[in-house]
Amino acid sequence: MNAYKKEVRFTVIMSALFLAAGNVGLFFSIFPVEGMLFGFPIMYIVPILSGWFGIFVLTLIASRMGNRIDEEIEEASELETLERKQKGA
């Protein structure tokens, strides 16, 4: 897959995952769940945990992948410039 497609796919999927992790309450409003976890109602504590640790884990992944995609774009961009110069020559 080329770097551009990777960049677009990464941004779309990562944004969707962030939105999902930060809006677990929305999912519970559609599919309510009974029961307790760690002494709290599941529908209370899971959104809070996901809104903290879930987002934290996603930022770790996003940070690593973002850096890698930057490198790939840089390489692909150099290659593209080189190809254009060769074609032009």
Partner 1 sequence: MGEEAWQLSNPFLGVAAIVATFLLFYLVGYISNRKSKSVTDLYVAGASVGPFTNGLAMASTYMSLATFLGITALILQLQVPFIMLWIQLILAIPLITIIYGTSLRRMGAFSPTHFVRERYGISASIIAALFMILVSIMYALGQMIGIALAFETVLGIPYLTGLIVGGLIIVGYITIGGMAGASNNAAIQMVIIALMFIIPLGAIMKAIGGSGWFFPPLLYADMVPAMLEAMPNFFDYQYSTKWYVSLIALTIGSLGLPHLAMRIYTASSLRSARSAMVWFAFVIGLVFSATYAMGFVGVYATETQGITISQADADKLTIILNLVYNPEWVSALVIAAAISAGLSTLSGNLLAIGALLSQDIITTLKPNIPERKRVRLGYAAIFMGGVVSILLAINPPAFLVVSILWAFGLAGVTIAPLILVGVWWKEANRFGAMASSLVGGALYIIVSPFVFPGIVMTGHSVTDGMGLSGAMLAIPISFILLIVVSYITNRMPMFQARLSTKADHELIERIHGWKEVNPARYNSTVGAAITVVFFTAIAIWAAMPWNM
Residues at the interface with partner 1 (CB under 8 A)? 4, 7-8, 10-11, 14-15, 18-19, 22-26, 28-30, 32, 38-41, 43-44, 47-48, 51-53, 55-56, 58-60, 62-63, 66-67, 70, 73-74, 77-78, 80-81, 84
Position 77: which residue type?
S
CB of 48 to partner 1, least distance (A): 6
Per the structure block, which two tokens stand in for 30? 């559609």
SS3 23: coil
SS3 33: coil
CB of 28 to partner 1, least distance (A): 7
Return d(Cα 31, Cα 43) in angstroms, integer: 10
